[in-house]
Structures are given as C-alpha cells and as structure tokens.
Amino acid sequence: MDKLKVQISNRQKDVKIPSGIRLLIRRCCTAVLDAENFEGSAEVSVSFINNQEIKELNAQYRGKDIETDVLSFPLGENGNYDVNHETGAKMLGDIVISVEKAVSQAELYGHTLQREIGFLTVHSMLHLLGYDHENGGLEATLMREKEEEILSRLGLTRDVTYVVKKEQ
C-alpha cells in the first residue's frame, strides 16, 4: 500500500468520541490493507452516526428496519474501484458506525469501546474489500479469522480487552 487517506466525520452528538479513536480507526484501516497486501493508494470515509440515522440507512439500503452497529458501502467490486482522478487513489467506500450501538455492545460483550470500534472498523474494511459473511459457512469463518488476526496485530485481542466484572 502506498498512501491511505481516511476521512473521519462525527455526525452525531449523543456520545462523546474518546480521544485516540480517530487514530485507532486509521490504524485499523491500514492494518487491513497491509494484511490484504493491498497495492496502490486508497481512500475511505468513516462516519459516526446515531442509532436513528443508522436505522434509517439500514431500512433504505438493506430493507431491514432495525438499528445496526455498522454499515459498509463499497465503491468497488472484484478488486476494481473508482479512482480519485486528482490523487490516483482507489476509493474503497464508506463506513458508517453507530457510536450509541458500539457503546452498548462494548458493555454487552464486556470489552472496551476501543476494542468494539476497532472490530467494527476492521469488519467493515473487509466488507469494502469484498469479504462477506451474510451466507454463513466458510466465507463467514474466513472473515472472522481475518478480523481476529488483524485485531491481534493491533493489540485488540478478545482475551486482553474483556473486562472482568466483580460480583457484589
């Protein structure tokens, strides 16, 4: 990979974005492209939104009238991407993360918000590169293994980030 431009925007006001999250997202995007031996320069857009907006997008684009954690909007198919004619970079697509949902899932799964947003970013980047898990089976297993391998390289392993709650 030559250069990576990650455009990050916060379009919600419900949850304060912790410091370091933007850097984490850039690291996650870079780690995925490195793991996939991506050639050339790339651009990706990441937006933080709330549950209501992601629910509307999920209904509009996937026909599912329910909030979700992350949506991926790839701009390429089979390794062919639109190219930014000014920079020559391949435009991979857009990632949309519900920060509200990420916070609730981090609590549910007992790990940090950083681990959750890292996971959602890696997961979505793999979607932008053509990976899919919707049909289950071997494709889903391969995608999950890739996710965990990349997150481990970033120091965001499941074992390390789980929070152990003491009984009261």
H or E segment and range at residue 96: strand 90-98
pLDDT of residue 160: 46
Please provide residue 94's backbone torsions phi and psi, each rounded to the nearest 5 degrees. Answer: -120, 140
pLDDT of residue 159: 56
| Residue for token pair 């790339």 | 42
Q: How far is 3 from 12, CA to CA, in rounded Å?
A: 28
pLDDT of residue 137: 84
For the chain, the structural domain boundaries read 4-160
In the DSSP assignment, the letter for residue 75 is: S
Give residue-wise pLDDT tens across range 53-112: 999 999 999 999 999 999 999 998 888 999 999 999 999 999 999 999 999 999 999 999
CATH number of 4-160: 3.40.390.30
Spatial neighbors of 150 by CB under 8 A, at least 6 apart, are: 28, 31, 32, 35, 122
pLDDT-based confidence at residue 162 (cuts at 50, 70, 90): very low
Closest Cα partner for 48 from 64, 76, 24, 31?
Answer: 24
CB 26 within 8 A of CB 4: yes
Give residue-wise pLDDT tens across range 101-156: 999 999 999 999 999 999 999 999 999 999 988 877 888 899 999 999 999 999 99
